[in-house]
């Protein structure tokens, strides 16, 4: 069941933070790893779960994979909006936004 897969993908604090980061802007794995504080392979595994659930997508730019929010359908979009609203109530976004500004590596991949 797709809903179950999506809810399982969101039933992890790290993946919730990744979703929140991607609500701010598209990011490369290296930026997200720096913000979250985990190794890139760990972040990549978490991101893959979100991709498989149809909540985010990625594109390859040179040596970088750039992830973004990309709900696969209207139900996924509603779910993401609900989760992001809940995260906003928890006041999680300001800290992530500040950390993302410090970790900004767009200069490495935006012009590719």
CA separation for the pair 51, 71 (Å, rounded): 9
DSSP, collapsed to helix, strand or coil, labels residue 42 as helix
The answer to whether residues 61 and 109 touch, using CB atoms and an 8 Å cutoff, is yes
Give start and end residues of each alpha helix (H) in 1-112: 2-10, 13-24, 29-36, 40-52, 74-89, 93-102, 106-109
Write out pLDDT tens, residues 67-108: 999 988 999 999 999 999 999 999 999 999 999 999 999 999
CATH class of 2-104: mainly alpha
Average pLDDT over residues 28-48: 97
The answer to whether residues 74 and 81 touch, using CB atoms and an 8 Å cutoff, is no
Whether residue 112 has pLDDT greater than 80: no
Average pLDDT over residues 30-59: 97
The pTM assigned to this predicted structure is 0.94
pLDDT in the model for residue 72: 87
């Amino acid at each position: 069941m797709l809903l179950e897969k999506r809810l399982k993908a969101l039933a992890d604090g790290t993946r919730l933070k990744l979703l929140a980061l991607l609500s701010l802007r598209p990011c490369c794995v290296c930026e997200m790893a720096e913000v979250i504080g985990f190794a890139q392979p760990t972040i990549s595994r978490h991101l893959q779960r979100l991709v498989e659930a149809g909540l985010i997508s990625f594109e390859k730019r040179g040596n970088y994979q750039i992830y973004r929010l990309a709900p696969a359908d209207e139900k996924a979009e509603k779910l993401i909006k609900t989760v992001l609203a809940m995260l906003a109530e928890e006041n999680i976004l300001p800290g992530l936004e500040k950390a993302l500004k410090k970790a900004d590596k767009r200069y490495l991949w935006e012009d590719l």
